[in-house]
Amino acid sequence: MGSIILILLVMLAGTAATIMIGQSKSNKEANTGYSEHSGKKWARLSWIYVVSVIIIAIILLFAI
């Protein structure tokens, strides 16, 4: 059970860090083209997270 909580905490921290970096003012100021095509980038990143969650859920189901 502890490993499940640890995995969830790491995933939540990664998600929060990704959003914070993606929305940071310094990134937008340093690169004026930073927000171009951001919808595609966020969609691709979201799919990576969704697939990761599914894979981890399957692994945890077989591990228990």
Q: Is 45 exposed, middle or buried (0-12, 13-18, 19+ CB in 10 A)?
A: middle
Residues 6 or more apart whose CB falls under 8 angstroms from that of 49 comprise: 11, 15
The rounded distance, in Å, linking the Cα atoms of 25 and 46 is: 21
- In angstroms, the CA 49 to CA 56 distance is 10
Q: What is the pTM of this model?
A: 0.55
Question: pLDDT tens digit string along 12-64?
Answer: 898 888 888 877 777 667 776 766 777 787 788 888 888 988 888 888 888 76
Q: What SS3 class is residue 35?
A: coil
